[in-house]
Structure 1
Amino acid sequence: MQETYDVIVVGYGYAGAFTAIAAADAGARVLLLEKAALPGGISICSAGGLRTADDADQAFTYLRASAGGKTPDPVLRQLADGMTGVHEVLCRLAEGTGAHIDNRNSPANYPFEGYETFGFSYVEDFPGFDPAAAWPHVRGAAQGALLFRLLQVNVEKRDRITTRLATPVVGLERSGDTVTGVRPMDGTSIAAPGGVVLACGGFEANPDMQAQYWPGGPALSAAYAGNTGDGIRMAQAVGADLWHMWHWHGCYGYRLPDGTYPFGVRVKRFPDWTPDDGGTARDGLPIMPWILLDRRGRRFMNEYEPYVQDTAGRMLAKYDPALQRYERNPARMVTDRAGLSMYPLGKPTRNDPSARYDWSGDNNRECESGLFREAAHIQELATLCEAPVEIVEATVSRWNAACDDGTDGDFGRPASSMHPLTPPYFLAAVEPVVSNTQGGPVHDAEQRVLAPDGSPVAGLFAAGECGSAFGHLYMSGGNLAECCIGGRIAGRNATKRARA
């Protein structure tokens, strides 16, 4: 006899957990499926802050400006309204667990109207739970792991939720034009009269999809090998439209030279700053002791953009049609001995039991491995850059003069972050590193997946990174808020269908 549940949720990260909890609380029998042997996905590696808002109208105004016309108003309105209730949702989930939830004001990344209404809600503490001991295969922010633990506790205590790990889904079942269930890899079929919610992430670990959709070509995945676009392809197979496929969240970073570590390592995480804020944030920023050069030996960007962990990777995507090559990928990161002594220049993140790499505190391990190569003088630096010595020398001289002057007239880098370079120099190749993707199936404000003509694909919903609302400029913590808001909407609406 075929198994039947009211609602099936595909993917057990933040979005899948929020969805399953909401559906169960609405009265549904829920099957939560995860293809990996362990739950958490890319979510467990995150910073753990869900975006909140004090004023829904102000949040909507900001989101509309930052969307660049790529996301319909009703979807943004639903997200803005939902952000005003995110903190309350976390507080309710924390009841009886001992977890401490904190809400703090933190303006959004760009100074569009309404940016000051935003904040973050975090799981600040979870007494008796040590993420490092519980999940030694995970490297990320402690708060991200604490948030996942809170959700996991809530999933486990709900009898209406059945969880199955190591259960990849390879397709969706249909009756006519209606999605009626899923096909796991084991050849079985599981029915869900309420529908299926795709909460299985994006395609940061699928270089073939990246090559098709991203002008700059593939990027290194920062943390997780399981997000290979499964939900996107399943949605396409039943007639879904796609959006935001070009938009990914990421920085620049390193490919480790021994070839055994499966992920890219992002550069050190720097505080964000808000453009046009009168200079306060810019002047108080830490030193970033490097510059980036293209293959000709020239600087090409502000290495410390306002939200460097989000947009900086885009700047490496420029293709030179005359030379038939990407002039900035890989780029050449140049620092010096003083720069190497400041702090670790990389920070690995991962959710993978088989991957092991921890960056050294003094960067010596990375120099010994050959990731950073030493150049005694400018001529040797040019040789390592494979660029004309006169261009490299002029670039470094111009940069040092800008540091003396306290103004980067070329790209507007924050003054306090600037660091002059003196020999010996140290050089590392850096490439785009993707944290997560935003593209996927189009959904409406009710999280229903839509066909190209705008009609719903009956019985199919999406939540979280699998078709994010962010299609132009991302907002830190925005995907996590979507996991909560969109997951809860999808879970409740699928439950309504099961009861109809």
Structure 2
Amino acid sequence: MGVEVPPLLPADFEWWRETADVIVVGFGIAGACAAIGAAEAGAKVLLLERTSAPGGASALSAGHFYLGGGTPVQRVTGHDDSIEAMAAYLEAVTPAPDVTKIRAYCADSVAHFEWLEAQGLVFERSFYPGKAVVQPGTEGLMWTGNEKVWPYREQVRPAPRGHKVNAPAGRGGSEVMRALAARVAVLGIDVRYEAMVDHLVADETGRVVGVHWAGGSAAGAVVLAAGGYVMNKEMVAAYTPKPARHFLPLGVPSDDGLGIRLGQSAGGATAHMDGAFLTASFYPPAELLHGVIVNKAGQRFVAEDSYHGRTAGAVVAQPDSTAYLIVDSAHMVWPELPMVKFVDGWETVAAMESGLGIPVGALQETLANYNAAAADEHDPELGKHPDWITPLTEGPWGAFDLTPGAATYVGFTLGGLATTEDGAVRRADGTIIAGLYAAGACASTIAQDCDGYSSGTCLGEGSYFGRRAGIHAARAHGTEAVAQRDHAGPMQRRQPDTAHTKGE
């Protein structure tokens, strides 16, 4: 899983190469927002990126932010939302919700949207009403979760919260990072590329007081924002063994868990490390949502109108992770994304049963029961939304294989370091590690699994909690830390430890 090394002591190397109020490790969205937040709070900031350019996995995204509570885009497009409704929804879909974080995120959502626009991000005041993975154009808002899916639609009044920047999906994430990198430059934040942190530095009390990398060292409070661990095969196998068998990693090479391992080296605890997002979406086109999804026993197990991540999680949980999407000729279309495999077509349901290896009569009974209820636009079994309920009676029938291996699943990890709502890293006993913060994919904040994830959660929580961590680090450790270092004078020099200072 990578060698976990203990933090260095300040006496383990000759002297601090430089000092800052806040040191941010990683230049994805969480790191960028942490650095900007700290700088806006008056801190001297050093931003360290291990690669040669900003972006990280954030630059690969479609550019969605999960925000609500009455944002300008929601208001202009006629969608009522409230802080209370947004929080209630996120608490309902999250297995073990961190209520404090969720409520802070929702309470500040409108202000955070306005802050993002102030950084140079642009959101079109428009709405895409269709069921899709991402808006086909530059529309600023769409449904990106399970808000309209039973039972959530009955628990909380639904509202769309998937805000996408004004760029085509293929360039959304890169546009986000372009704008934030430009803001980092305007603020005069010191950025170092090809600076891979290899050790935290902590004093005798365990307080983190800086970082070390090949060729440099810096004193200051530390915000870890170095990405998730989806590219670390050993960590994925150890923490998410079941999902790991079913998806191709979606990320960048630096998503190797470095930030998490650095935090652990200082005594940081982790949370929800078994959590992962995965998908093999069969929609768009939305027409396919009229079909039914069955397991190898021919039984339905998930409402077909669910967000694609929820459907994927439900498929993986089935016996042998086997599932099929069944459609009749009236709803037979080809998926726009090449992720699921068409199996075959059959003139009768009985023949389809045999062709798929489903027990005799099981699929026939499932479709008969579904069609009887669908005639009334009703789904008593799983609560499928009436918009997508139509009897499947027009043969021939076709099947798409949703089974991992036949279908192509992609995914990423969701767990990370345990933190407070201000990003301070916690120990296993709940105490705080002074001087250490974490945000983004190397921290556990809101999203925990496929059921609770909505498109835009990563950029939303990464930007918000990253910014919050930067501000808190600046306020708690900024001028005080500088004064302490100035008062202490030059550190005692000693012969450098070449094992720790190679390249200096």
- TM-score of the superposed pair, with normalisation by structure 2: 0.70
Distance 1:143 1:493 in 2: 29
Q: How does 1:263-274 map to 2 (within 5 A)?
A: 266-268=281-283
Identify if the C-alpha distance between structure 1 residues 313 and 210 changes in structure 2 by more than 3 Å, giving closer, same or farther.
Answer: farther
1:232 alignment partner in structure 2: 260
* 2:322 corresponding residue in structure 1: 330
Letter in 1 for 2:395: T
Give the Cα–Cα distance (whole angstroms) in 1 for the partners of residues 354 and 234 of structure 2. 33
Letter in 2 for 1:175: D
* Offset at residue 234 of structure 1 (A): 2.3
Q: Does 1:372 align with 2:342?
A: yes
The answer for the alignment partner of 1:260 in structure 2 is: none
CA contact (8 A) 1:52 1:86 kept: no
Structure 1: distance between partners of 2:249 and 2:292 = 21
Quote the Cα distance in structure 1 between the aligned partners of 2:219 and 2:155: 43
Aligned equivalent of 2:46:
30
SS of equivalent residue, structure 1 residue 372: strand
Alignment match of 1:123 (pick from 153, 156, 165): 165
Change (3 A) 1:338 1:123: same
Q: 1:296 to 1:122 in 2, by over 3 A?
A: closer
Aligned partner of residue 293 in structure 1, secondary structure: strand
In 2, the alpha carbon distance for the partners of 1:164 and 1:487 equals: 19
Please list the CA deviations of residues 263-321 of structure 1 after superposition, one character each: whole Å capped at 9, or x if unmatched. Answer: xxx33258xxxxxxxxxxxxxx855153322223332222222xx13422331343xxx
The answer for the alignment partner of 2:293 in structure 1 is 292
Pick one of 455, 461, 475 that aligns with 2:437. Answer: 461
Name the counterpart of 1:153: 182
For 2:88 and 2:398, how far apart are their aligned partners in 1? 46
In the alignment, structure 2 segments of 5+ residues that lack a partner are 1-14, 71-81, 127-139, 481-504
| Aligned residue runs from structure 1 range 178-193, under 5 A | 178-184=207-213, 187-193=214-220
Question: Letter of the aligned partner of 1:429 in structure 2?
Answer: L
Q: Which residue of 2 aligns with 1:39?
A: 55
Q: Deviation digits for residues 204-232 of structure 1, max 9, x if unmatched?
A: 44565455445844241463244343322
Shift of 1:451: 0.6
The answer to whether residue 64 in structure 2 is matched with residue 48 in structure 1 is yes
Q: CA deviation at 1:181?
A: 3.5
- Report what 1:390 is aligned to: 361
For 1:242, give the aligned amino acid: T
Q: Which residue, 335, 341, 354 being the options, matches 1:344?
A: 335
Q: Whole-Å Cα distance in 2 between the matches of residues 430 and 206 of structure 1?
A: 24
Corresponding letter in the other structure for 2:55: P
Q: Give, as a single letter, the amino acid of the residue that structure 2 aligns with 1:316.
A: V
CA contact (8 A) 2:48 2:191 kept: yes
What is the Cα deviation at residue 188 of structure 1? 4.3
Q: Residue 448 of structure 1: CA displacement?
A: 0.5
User: 2:129 aligns to what?
Assistant: none
Provide the rounded CA distance (Å) in 1 between the counterparts of 2:226 and 2:232: 14
**Aligned equivalent of 2:402:** 429
Q: Which residue number corresponds to residue 489 of structure 1?
A: 468
Instruction: Return the letter of the residue paired with 2:343.
Output: R
TM-score by length of 1: 0.71
Question: CA 1:406–1:78 in 2, change beyond 3 Å: closer, same or farther?
Answer: closer
Change (3 A) 1:328 1:405: farther
The letter of the residue matching 2:229 is F
With over 3 angstroms needed to count, the CA separation of the structure-2 counterparts of 1:337 and 1:439, relative to structure 1, is same
Aligned partner of 1:82: which letter?
D
Residue 13 of structure 1: how far off its partner (Å)? 2.0
CA contact (8 A) 1:244 1:467 kept: no
Tell me if structure 2 keeps the 8 A contact 1:51–1:476.
no
SS of the aligned residue for 1:15 comes to helix
Query: 2:191, 2:57 → 1: CA distance?
Result: 18
Looking at structure 1, the residues matched to 117 and 34 of structure 2 have their Cα atoms a distance apart, in angstroms, of 17
- 1:88 aligned residue (114, 128, 137): 114
Query: What's the CA shift string for 1:235-270, capped at 9, x where partnerless?
Result: 22221122233443444x1xxxxxxxxxxxx33258
Q: How many residues align?
A: 421
Larger Rg: 2
Which whole-Å CA distance do the structure 1 matches of 2:157 and 2:19 have between them?
A: 42
Structure 1 residues 402-453: Cα deviation after superposition (integer angstroms, max 9, x where no partner):
5445333332222332452632524323339464443211111221111112
**More helix as a share of residues:** 2
Give the equivalent residue in structure 2 for 1:312.
Answer: 311
Q: Does 1:499 align with 2:500?
A: no
Q: Report the 3-state secondary structure (helix = DSSP H, G, I; strand = E; otherwise coil) of the residue aligned with 1:299.
A: coil
Distance verdict in 2 for CA 1:122–1:301, change over 3 Å: closer
Does residue 302 of structure 1 match 2:303? yes
* CA apart distance, 1:93: 1.4
What amino acid sits opposite 1:232 in the alignment? I
CA distance in 2, matches of 1:179, 1:117: 42
The separation in 2 between residues aligned to 1:443 and 1:416, in whole angstroms, is 41
Distance 1:59-1:223 versus aligned 2 partners, 3 A rule: same
Structure-1 separation of matches of 2:400 and 2:141:
39
Structure 1 Cα separation of the partners of residues 124 and 352 of structure 2: 50
d(CA) in 2 for partners of 1:34, 1:296 = 49
Distance 1:197 1:390, change over 3 A: same
Assess, with a 3 A threshold, how the Cα gap between structure 1 residues 100 and 333 changes in structure 2: closer, same or farther. Answer: closer
SS of 1:231 mapped into structure 2? helix
| Alpha-carbon shift at residue 327 of structure 1 (Å) | 0.8
**Pairwise CA distance, 1:152:** 2.4
Taking the aligned partners of 1:329 and 1:233, their CA distance within structure 2 comes to 31
Please state whether the residue corresponding to 2:402 is helix, strand or coil.
strand
Q: 1:333 to 1:113 in 2, by over 3 A?
A: closer
Distance 1:4 1:173 in 2: 13
Identity score, percent? 24
Over 3 Å counting, the alpha-carbon distance change for 1:387 and 1:331 in structure 2 is same
Partners of 2:370 and 2:296 lie apart in 1 by 17
Contact 1:52/1:481 (<8 A) preserved? no
**1:16 correspondence with 2:31:** yes
Contact 1:56 1:84 in 2 (8 A): no
**Which residue is equivalent to 2:79?**
none
Secondary structure of 1:374's aligned partner: strand
Letter aligned with residue 418 of structure 2: V
AA of the residue aligned to 1:449? V
